Chain A
Amino acid sequence: MSVALLVTVAGLAAIGTYLITARSMSRIVLGFSMLGHAAVLALLAAGGPAGQAPLADRLVGSGAEAANPLPQALSLTAIVISFGLTLFLLALARRQHVLTGDDLVEDDLEDRRIATTEMEHTDEPEPEVA
């Protein structure tokens, strides 16, 4: 198995994970694209060494040299799904932009409740959420 491929997978996964911890939806979308690529590359790496195109008529006589078609089929399915989901994320970001003027993922309800309780106690203005 190619070490370069594995390093690429690890790098993409690390950058992707870092990006989706961001507040802004546009960064999250980029993060998921990276993660999606990492997963697809991992699937390809799992299929073993590259070879001839795995077409039925070429397999005759030279079966051992053909690439494993199964991970490729899995990757294709995964690519289609992640493409659709990216579009859905963008639609969500757009809707959030219409509603609030930005595309930030907000604190969850429980965090907001705790923050307001503290505010009542200390009577200080709400801290800026970047």
Chain B
Amino acid sequence: MEAVVGLIVVGPMLAAAVALAVQHRPRIRDAVTIGTLATEAVLAAWLLAKVNSNGAVVLRVGDWTPELGIVLVADLFAALILTVALGTIFVVEVFAIGQRRTAWGADPELAGPLLLVLTAGVALSILTGDLFTLFVAFELILISSYVLLTHQGSRGQIQSGMTYVVMNMFASTLFLLGVAFVYRATGTVNIALLAQRIPELADGTRLGIGMWFLVVFGTKAAVFPLFSWLPDSYPTAPTTITAIFAGLLTKIGIYTLVRFNTLTGMEDLGPVILAVSALTMVVGVVGALAQDDVKRILSFHIVSQVGYMVMGLGLFTVAGVAATAFFLIHHMPVKTVLFLVGGLIEDEAGTSDLDNVGGLASRRPVVALLFALPALSLSGLPPFSGFVAKLALVDAGLAVASTPIVVVSLLVSVLTLLSMAKIWLGVFWGSPVDESSNIVVAVREAGASRGGRRLMVGTTGVAVLATLLIATFAGSLWDMSYRAATNLVDPSAYIAGVLS
């Protein structure tokens, strides 16, 4: 059991080394990448089943005591998010193999190994039980994301890549300083010990630490006003890479925000977090309405949706945190799938600019359907998973009479639907682009082989089906989210699990 927790982190790192060594042999390289990611997803699902029935699994690396060494903790919250995250990465990599045969694909010799390093970072940041290992995990994620974002070296990628790298490096430095402050104040970086010691600190010190890490994790999560790096940089990367970033990276920020703030009992920060959440929702969705490129609209939506997830945390109730957990489970796959559809549109029309695409619904009805289902889910319409997630949030908000934030969240939902309608009108309805124009012909020639395109559409189809299943199994998923949230809001079980 403990070995599996370790394997999930170490496996992708070893596989990345192998994939780099065989980078000039496409078949072996792809087999290693896909095989590892599939194994990871299966292991995570198995771990989730075990944790769900038997309780948290704790791995003490090198058998050191938790005060001195590194611990990996797979509690229910971690296992849930880990399973969804690794499953999402696997689906995107299958899509990427189809897309690599097109002009839009990433450089396969680098993208495969780097994706594996990113996977290791994601797994480590979810499972880690101490603050410094969390810093290292963030760096693993960020370094691979820097390279994935800029490895093609085009003008736009370098331009926005610079902003992305500088913003995130600054946040990482603040993180490191924060670790020093926490160590000075409490004498430990272990999260379970921090959960015991931080609530005992003087109010000023405690809130200082809380605000400091709100800025650090808030930059990773792209909350207002720290989101400016996101909408510029994400759309410039190849679709599959953007899809992974969109589905996972900011969510890891939210995950750590939730874990840190709930376990260390930062209830006093609730009003601050709620205010940030409202501003994030509104600014994100208004930004999306002003855009006219599919990928840019979707990128601004990430910001807006982050606001929702932070809202559940800001309530600091079990129902609120459970709603955030469920929102994460819903959002990671749905957002990723929408970006994959963006990739299909780009492959079909040669651009994701709304002005230059049109009438795709009649030409490719399947793509239209694949866009419509997750788009409606993201806007929060029944019977999709987005509806369940937003209902849970609104319900949790009303339970503690936080009416303003609930009103804002409902209003933003309507605006989300509006901007989804904008994509629909621009891409799927309207007059088709001129079939004989140079750009369309050029795209056709650069486009995917028939097999590659079929793989892309097929993968997206399966992924859309999987997101529909989230709504189908909402009952049991909600039940798990709720139990996970209970153990976060009352950390005694977590502390006992790690320290005993």
Q: Spell out A's residues near B (CB within 8 Å).
A: 13, 16, 20, 25, 28, 32, 35-36, 38-40, 42-43, 45-47, 70-71, 74, 77-78, 81-82, 84-85, 88-89, 92, 95-96, 99-100, 105-106, 108-110
Contacts and interface: CB of A to CB of B under 8 A. Distances in A.
Contacts of A81: 136, 139
A42 B165 contact: no
B450 interface: no
B68 A70 contact: yes
Contacts of B132: 74, 77
Contacts of A42: 176-177, 180-181
B183 A46 contact: yes
B181 A46 contact: yes
A41 B305 CA distance: 38
B122 to A, nearest CB: 17
Interface stretch (B156-164, B249-257, B374-382, B421-429): B156-164
A31 B58 CA distance: 40
B169 interface: yes
Contact of B176 (A25, A78, A84): A78
A108 B162 contact: no
B162 A99 contact: no
Given A20-B166, A88-B165, A110-B232, A39 B173 contact: yes
Residue among B132, B143, B166 with max Cβ neighbours from chain A (10 Å): B166
Contacts of B231: 110
Interface string B148-184: 0010010100111111011001100100110111011
Contacts of A71: 180, 183
Residue among B150, B176, B183 with max Cβ neighbours from chain A (10 Å): B176
A25 B139 CA distance: 21
Contacts of A47: 183
B486 interface: no
24 contacts: A25-B162, A28-B166, A39-B173, A39-B176, A39-B177, A40-B176, A46-B181, A70-B183, A74-B132, A78-B135, A78-B176, A81-B139, A85-B169, A88-B165, A92-B150, A92-B161, A95-B150, A99-B153, A99-B155, A100-B155, A105-B162, A105-B163, A108-B228, A110-B232
Contact of A32 (B158, B162, B173, B181): B173
B169 A32 contact: yes
Nearest to A16: B173
B165 A74 contact: no
Given A84-B143, A85-B169, 17 more contacts: A20-B170, A38-B177, A39-B176, A39-B180, A45-B180, A45-B184, A46-B183, A46-B184, A74-B189, A78-B176, A88-B146, A105-B162, A105-B163, A106-B162, A108-B160, A108-B163, A108-B228
A43 B179 contact: yes
A81 B166 CA distance: 15
Given A46-B184, A47-B183, A109 B232 contact: yes
B176 A99 contact: no
Contacts of B189: 74
A96 B158 contact: yes
Contacts of A92: 150, 158, 161-162, 165
Nearest to B168: A85
Contacts of B135: 78
Contacts of A106: 159, 162
Given A46-B180, A85-B169, A89-B165, A109 B160 contact: yes
A43 B162 contact: no
Interface string B62-75: 00000010000000
Nearest to A17: B170
Contacts of B136: 77, 81
B115 to A, nearest CB: 18
B165 A95 contact: no
A35 B173 contact: yes
Nearest to A98: B153
Contacts of B181: 42, 46
Contacts of B287: 110
B201 to A, nearest CB: 15
Contact of B153 (A20, A74, A85, A95): A95
B334 to A, nearest CB: 25
Contact of B166 (A46, A84, A105, A109): A105
